[in-house]
A and B are shown apart, each in its own frame.
Chain A
């Protein structure tokens, strides 16, 4: 394993994301811990998008769909559990759940299924059409959620108590942070292995040259669809965690602003860089916190920064600090 600048930077970032909340914990600053938790969860959503966007070259403006489905998986299961209303009575009585592992499983399964359907239809197109179709699917779900009065409609769904994880007190900010952090690390390990796997090699090749991939007997559509499903599932898991962080889910999670924000994390950090979403989400949260204190219009500065990065540092923050990606051979 070579000690490249990018790798050092990655370690420094993931360490900082751990040290900051730990320091805040010892100084009794729960708000900082919550910010770090939010950064970790949004980074996780970005890690998901980055598999489609960075590795597969699929510019999806519909990832809010998966983020929101994860959020509603949490909201619906937890709402039924807290109200003791059965979600369904057949084939067995199910009254929802306030157990995170089950909620995560449901979030992952449903967002993966949604990604399978959306991907199978959208991936027949490419370029700007793909962007528009993913956007359209996202908006469809958004308006569906607004009109779904059984689960709060436009107002969303509030959960009184955060869901439980066996052996932990999830209401303690540092313990909930630990859950989000560990999941983020697992997702990063998974994404790293995926990128270096036979599948990852073929997928990234399809982004670079579709003709070549077909000429060696591999089907770009299948490669992309599988990547899209994996990507959607990870973003969906992030959505469930995000809803649990806020104890609230609303159609906003499904809106195209959310898709845009997740994409901003990826672009800020560096498209295709493994830790790009971590850098991007952390920077976003810091800017929101620091600049948001100065002006309500802090997103103007964010826009300016994004513009500078797109124009002058195509590798994002990580590209600017660590240089061009080394082709590993």
Chain B
């Protein structure tokens, strides 16, 4: 039986008159990819931020690995095993690719208060960093400056840094954004295998990727989850078609 890794209970968040989250309850089970889709402005980013710990909900709770983390900050949640990739690449741009991966490994290890050893000669950090780069196919670019990477390579590096944390779950905010058809397909294949290591809550606009990958899909519209189900169920759901997919087809 699959275990509950992440659960939100009736999250509410308003910004003035705008209700960005309205009784949002969703969960993530071991071994699955749960995709969150919804039109622009549906409140996906607000939800992600409440799950990651950037903003606190007005009411409701977030449970991570069976523990109520609603009051914990992003750092504490990351330490508990939440591996996050950002919609807009959040990387140390002056660093090399390898340095970014080592930074992830350092965070995963949780002992940054060492002041004298050369961090780039620490095998305990270099090995997981190189492994992660190898897995996303960036190992040949290890010595390059992150700022010089292509957009797609930065997306790959985001995933690699998350991997170095050996997270218990992934929270991925539009990892396919701007990747192009080939890159998107490649990453889809990679994420497909990744769910065995840790489940993924995937926010994504690329519908091909979502329908190819997701075990379950939740649809968020105007801050509310209007449906949760398998790809087939979501395709067949009349309300979803009206609210979201219909617009997508017409476009």
Contact = CB atoms under 8 A, between A and B. Distances in A.
Given A197-B116, A201-B119, A202-B112, A327 B96 contact: yes
A27 B92 CA distance: 51
Contacts of A223: 112
B84 to A, nearest CB: 5
Interface of A: 193-194, 196-202, 204-205, 208-209, 211-219, 223, 226, 327-329
Contacts of A327: 94-96, 99, 145
Contacts of B242: none
Contact of B103 (A196, A205, A329): A205
B78 A216 contact: yes
Residue of B73, B86, B118 ringed by the most chain A CB atoms within 10 A: B118
29 contacts: A194-B115, A194-B116, A196-B120, A197-B117, A197-B118, A198-B113, A199-B113, A199-B115, A200-B119, A201-B102, A202-B103, A205-B95, A208-B94, A209-B90, A209-B91, A211-B86, A213-B103, A215-B74, A215-B78, A215-B84, A216-B161, A217-B78, A217-B165, A218-B75, A218-B112, A327-B94, A327-B95, A328-B96, A329-B120
A194 B96 CA distance: 18
Nearest to B165: A216
Given A202-B103, A205-B103, A226-B113, A217 B119 contact: no
A216 B145 CA distance: 20
Given A214-B78, A216-B106, A218-B106, A208 B120 contact: no
Contacts of A213: 103, 107
- Main SS class of interface, A: helix
Interface residues on B, range: 35 or more
Contact of A217 (B79, B90, B91, B117): B79
A197 to B, nearest CB: 5
Nearest to B143: A329
A144 B116 CA distance: 37
Contact of A197 (B96, B104, B119): B119
B120 A217 contact: no
Nearest to B98: A329
A329 B84 CA distance: 24
Contacts of A215: 52, 74, 78, 84, 86, 90, 107, 161-162
Contacts of A212: 90-92, 100, 103, 161
Nearest to A206: B92
